[in-house]
Amino acid sequence: MAGPRAPLHRRPCGRRPAARPDRRLLGRRERRDLHHRKLRKVEGLHFRRDATDSDSEAALDGDLEALAALRGMYAFVVAHPDGRVIAVRDPLGVKPLYWAHSGGAVYFASELAAFPESMRGAVEDFPPGFRWTPDEGLVRFRELHIGGEFVASKDEARTAIRDTLVTAVRRRMMADVPVGVFLSGGLDSSLVAAIMARYADDVPGPIHSFAAGTAGSSDLAAARRVAEHLGLTHHERIYDADEVVAVLPEVVTSIESYEPSLVRSAVPNYLLAETTAETVKVVLTGEGADELFACYAHYRDIDEAHDLADELRRGISGLHNLNLQRCDRVTMAHGLEARVPFLDRDLVNLAGRIPIEWRLPGELGQEKALLREAFTGWLPDDLLWRPKEQFGDGSGTADVMTERAAHLVPEDDWADERVAGLPAPRTREELAYQRMFATRLAGVNSHVLGRFATA
């Protein structure tokens, strides 16, 4: 039997933390001016002064030199009445954009499925941080990683992390409607929720939090505690194994990937987004913190600091067709806008200036210690220092999916099977997802798709 589709609404519990003395540092009017309104006032960027009040129009109306000043997530193609065309994608690739050259024309779309099957073999991922015009071709307009002096001390690093993340969250709370937060009960989403609760006056209505998982899962329990402590209006989506299996084809089609790790985390995200969209249309997430602060276990196996720095840069640069692709697709499938404050360009640049050894745990240490220390007192210690769990694990979904998805494929000789145009499957589970992928996305060249090192 499928789990309940309607969210379990929980009334606000506990007291909202008192505002810090610096609350007026970034008032509501000033905060809004940090975005498109401020851009319109910058001399030399040639934004039209009589445009509408839409933030999107600020991006569409600026000249080519204004692109580097844009902040946030975007991908757009603009065709002007005089025949000029420009295509642009944000430096992190938070928003998707694909293109294909065929028959002397150039085609663009935000999804692979939008291209006819006959053209899919020519489809490429439009590179993040680039613009394209017919005259100039591809031109990088902004580097993702910008160098600078290393932060001098851990105290300075903690202060900078806290201030920069607070500002990044508040920038993304800009809305004329209630906003929410995906709350897994892990560190990253809990910190975003804590900042939103402290600055709740920045948005209309209460702060809504949303969690998903199987009954009794650790993520649901931890998220409940965080929401109660912060006084959030909390919602839960509880599902069972049958619902997980039933929704798998939709999820694989939505994220346009058969990567097992991505699918495992996408299922709870997809169900969570479905529930969230019934209440709010804008939600903040904790995406990107693991890559910025070297959370993954395999980072400990890299001995040389410069090698680790290179690996972290690759991890951030590769988010666009892995975790960010999953985040964008499962939310937009339900008309929900997901915002990613940890990937604010100021925080990405700050992380790059924090010495590698400060971001790594010791042999017995906790991951992301510097980030946790930066927010001492914002959450109870047991929540602030809760060990990391992958979303699929904490939500109780991963084991169910591994077992049930594998059963969709006969056990005998599965390793010898191939899906046309796709690489050899690494597991029975991956083969099951490849078959779902090929049913609706036949012809896609596999090099467009991101893959993790292990399945």
Q: Mind listing the pLDDT tens digit for each residue in 22-51?
A: 433 333 434 444 455 565 555 444 445 455
- As a whole number of angstroms, the distance between CA 385 and CA 362 comes to 15
Kindly give the confidence (pLDDT) of every residue in the chain, 455 residues in length, as a single tens digit, with 9 standing for 90 and above.
333 333 333 433 433 333 333 433 333 434 444 455 565 555 444 445 455 666 666 666 556 777 787 888 999 998 888 888 999 999 999 999 999 999 999 999 999 999 999 999 999 999 999 999 999 999 999 988 777 899 999 999 999 999 999 999 999 998 888 899 999 999 999 999 999 999 998 888 899 999 999 888 888 999 999 999 999 999 999 998 889 889 999 999 999 999 999 998 999 999 999 999 999 999 999 999 998 987 776 676 776 777 878 888 888 999 999 999 999 999 999 999 999 999 999 999 999 999 988 887 655 467 889 999 999 999 999 999 988 765 555 566 777 777 777 677 877 778 888 999 899 999 888 999 999 999 999 999 899 999 988 87
Cα 238 versus chain centre, distance? 22
- As a whole number of angstroms, the distance between CA 401 and CA 195 comes to 33
Q: What is the arrangement of strands in the sheet containing 233-238, beginning at the earlier edge strand?
A: 8-10, 233-238, 208-213, 180-182, 282-284, 337-339
- The 10 Å CB-count burial string (b at 16+, else e) for 147-170 is eeeebeeeeebbebbbebbbbbbb
Are 242 and 318 in contact, with CB atoms under 8 Å apart? no
Contacts of 219 (CB under 8 A, 6+ apart): 184, 185, 186, 211, 212, 213, 389, 391, 394, 395, 396
Residue 79, Cβ density class (10 Å: 0-12 exposed, 13-18 middle, ≥19 buried):
exposed
- As a whole number of angstroms, the distance between CA 455 and CA 405 comes to 13
| Nearest in space to 344 (alpha carbons), one of 35, 55, 58 | 35
Q: Mind listing the pLDDT tens digit for each residue in 382-407?
A: 999 988 765 555 566 777 777 777 67
Token code pair at residue 304: 């040389």
**What's the predicted TM-score (pTM) here?**
0.86
Phi and psi angles of residue 450, each rounded to the nearest 5 degrees, phi first = -80, 150
- As a whole number of angstroms, the distance between CA 134 and CA 224 comes to 52
